[in-house]
Amino acid sequence: MHSARESGWWRSAVIYQVYLRSFADGNGDGTGDIVGLRSRLAYIRSLGVDGVWINPWYVSPLNDGGYDVADYRNIDPLFGTLEDARALFAEAHAIGLRVLIDIVPNHTSSEHEWFQAALASPKGSSDRARYHFVEGRGADGEDPPNNWSSVFGGPAWTSVGDGQWYLHLFDSTQPDLNWTNPEVREEFDSVLRFWLDLGADGIRVDVAHGLAKEPRYADMPGEGDSVLGGWGRDGHPHWDREDVHEIVRGWRSVLDEYEGTVMVAEAWVENWERLARYLRPGEFHQVFDFQFLETDWAAKSMRDAIEVSLEGAASVDALPTWVLSNHDVVRHPTRYGLETGTDPRAWLLDGDRAALDAEAGHRRARAAFVMMSALPGSMYLYQGEELGLPEAHDLDASVLDDPVFERSGRTLKGRDGCRVPFPWSAFGDSMGFGDNGAWLPQPESYRDLAADVQDGVEGSSLELYRRVLALRKQVLADGAGFEWHDLGVDTLGFVRDGAVLCAVNFSDQPLPLPGGDVLVSSDPLDGGLLPQDTAAWIAIG
């Protein structure tokens, strides 16, 4: 049995998140695919990461970018075939990369055969019992069973016309599964084995905090706006409920049959006290630290966030898993370029564009990466962050694909701006993404940031990532030693394993650095001084 206490490759691993649809298009249909990804594995390896996590690639109508799965045991033809997946696992393994896949257990697509059977079957049938079909309120069930709302906006219930409604915490084409039903559990155990047998090294679990629902479907007291925010409270009727943990332990026992496999949780919960519960022995190996991701660029907030994470993880003898961006949030160079207190998701729609300091955001993003890489634990990078890609914030409403836009009544633009296809080259069709356009338009500004523009160029963001990840392996290894080191107001300093000092300057004054060799800095030093919004590692051992 593995436990969070034991060492394992994942403890300090760096995983690169591949948003398959937007990474590399191998067949010229405008959508990224497995063949495209295979052709770019060497690039991923060149970054110095340990593995990849691939967003869902299963058969899907793609109403929510593939998080609406119609068949968990097959690849969507848009992305390739099972043969391609098998080849990908083999090729990745051959060059020392592990592959994590995304498991979506909270809901299926409405096109899944189980849901189609449920619609065709009467109330009370075993087909309906795999989902949450509940009688509506009112004389003829004309009102939804309760006041829960969808994360994407609007009610969380859709009527099927016979007095019953089905629950969907996300889009109406994503019906929630009923995890109290043993058939659901058996099915997912079998799905896990299917992919682990095929060669997957682990799973990222989607909406891990949402699987258990309040059994009487009671109203949410004071339920407010829950569009991608405010998730997770103790005693919440469908987030972070105690029953989730038993389900998680079931998956972990399946993973433990496969040596060296790992599972990481997407769990948006109230605080680290709650989050640590997912990291207990026999549960997840890693949980994304979204509190860190959401922290403003300020010394005190960052220090507090780091401290709370290290303490929270230590309370269960584990380490944090750091992340700055993913396919659900505004890319961090853009977030850090906005004034403190701005809600980046709201800003995307109609926020003041002049309020964005792109240059500062870019510098801070580099510094944040240098800082994060020095912290104990594992981390996830999101494709394109190594190029310093900002959010594509000016996508026209006509090209938006994320269901958040319509379901929020067009009050939120959604997540397409962080999902724009990858710029491989400054020239050529769709910036080298594929031979025939890209499913979302790429901003012209991405040309200058393309991978081939930065490759081998000293001082580029791409080369900074390579240098830092290589150094991290050399000088930080797997240690967990961490001590704060005071460098003055509006700065942050900490020492790792007594050997490396990481200094970050949040102030507007250049910071004199303590003696020692400067191993790396996020931007050039100014005659021995650490400029504003810059981070450096110094060998002090």
Residues composing the chain: 541
Tokens of 538: 């110094």
Give 57 or 297: the residue with its C-beta nearer to ligand GLC.
57
Task: Give the Cα separation of 238 and 256 in Å (integer).
Answer: 28
Residue with tokens 């020692």: 516
Closest CB 362 distance from ligand GLC, rounded Å: 25
Closest CB 83 distance from ligand GLC, rounded Å: 27
Give 202 or 376: the residue with its C-beta nearer to ligand GLC.
202
Task: Give the Cα separation of 55 and 57 in Å (integer).
Answer: 6
> If 0-12 CB within 10 Å is exposed, 13-18 middle and 19+ buried, where does residue 198 land?
middle
Closest CB 330 distance from ligand GLC, rounded Å: 14
Closest CB 463 distance from ligand GLC, rounded Å: 30
Strands 378-382, 14-18: parallel, antiparallel or unpaired by DSSP? parallel
Closest of 366, 333, 339 to residue 352, by C-alpha: 339
Closest of 340, 341, 336 to residue 368, by C-alpha: 336
Closest CB 404 distance from ligand GLC, rounded Å: 8
Q: Secondary structure of 486-507 in the HEC alphabet?
A: CCCCCEEEEEECCCEEEEEECC
* SS3 of residue 184 by DSSP: helix
Closest of 22, 13, 116, 111 to residue 402, by C-alpha: 22
x/- map, 101-140, ligand GLC, by CB under 6 A = ---x------------------------------------
Of residues 379 through 418, those in contact with ligand GLC by CB under 6 A are none
Query: Judged by CB under 6 A, how many residues of this single chain contact ligand GLC?
Result: 9
Closest residue to ligand GLC: CB criterion: 67
Give 369 or 382: the residue with its C-beta nearer to ligand GLC.
382
Closest CB 56 distance from ligand GLC, rounded Å: 8
CA atoms within 13 A on the CB side of 48: 17
At 135, phi and psi to the nearest 5? -65, 140
Give 67 or 439: the residue with its C-beta nearer to ligand GLC.
67
Q: Is 257 noted as a catalytic residue in this protein?
A: yes
Looking at 206, 283, 416, 533, which residue is catalytic? 206
Strands 491-496, 482-484: parallel, antiparallel or unpaired by DSSP? antiparallel
Q: Is 197 noted as a catalytic residue in this protein?
A: no
Of residues 430 through 449, those in contact with ligand GLC by CB under 6 A are none
CA atoms within 13 A on the CB side of 30: 6
Of residues 250 through 269, those in contact with ligand GLC by CB under 6 A are 266
Cβ–Cβ < 8 Å for 157, 171: no
Strands 286-287, 262-265: parallel, antiparallel or unpaired by DSSP? parallel
x/- map, 217-256, ligand GLC, by CB under 6 A = ----------------------------------------
170 binding ligand GLC? (CB under 6 A): yes
x/- map, 59-98, ligand GLC, by CB under 6 A = -----x--x-------------------------------
Give 238 or 327: the residue with its C-beta nearer to ligand GLC.
327
Kindly tell me which residue out of 41, 192, 205, 207 binds ligand GLC, with binding defined by CB under 6 A.
207
Strands 98-103, 133-135: parallel, antiparallel or unpaired by DSSP? unpaired
Give 50 or 328: the residue with its C-beta nearer to ligand GLC.
328
- DSSP-assigned beta bridge partners for residue 442: none
Closest CB 403 distance from ligand GLC, rounded Å: 8
Give 66 or 237: the residue with its C-beta nearer to ligand GLC.
66
x/- map, 300-329, ligand GLC, by CB under 6 A = ---------------------------xx-
Strands 202-205, 262-265: parallel, antiparallel or unpaired by DSSP? parallel
Give 206 or 401: the residue with its C-beta nearer to ligand GLC.
206
Cα→Cα distances 99→86, 195, 199, 477, 540, Å: 11, 11, 8, 21, 36
Give 363 or 419: the residue with its C-beta nearer to ligand GLC.
419
Residue 357, amino acid: D
Buried b (16+ CB within 10 A) or exposed e, 448-460: ebbbbbbeeeeeb
Closest CB 247 distance from ligand GLC, rounded Å: 16
Kindly tell me which residue out of 206, 289, 385, 386 binds ligand GLC, with binding defined by CB under 6 A.
206
> If 0-12 CB within 10 Å is exposed, 13-18 middle and 19+ buried, where does residue 509 land?
middle
Closest CB 186 distance from ligand GLC, rounded Å: 22
Looking at 183, 234, 257, 304, which residue is catalytic? 257
Closest CB 522 distance from ligand GLC, rounded Å: 28
Cα→Cα distances 96→9, 40, 84, 100, 152, Å: 12, 14, 18, 13, 38
Give 402 or 523: the residue with its C-beta nearer to ligand GLC.
402
Helix axes 461-471, 358-373, angle to 10 degrees: 10
Of residues 328 through 357, those in contact with ligand GLC by CB under 6 A are 328
Catalytic positions? 206, 257
Please give the residue ranges that form the binding site for ligand GLC (CB under 6 A): 64, 67, 104, 170, 206-207, 266, 327-328
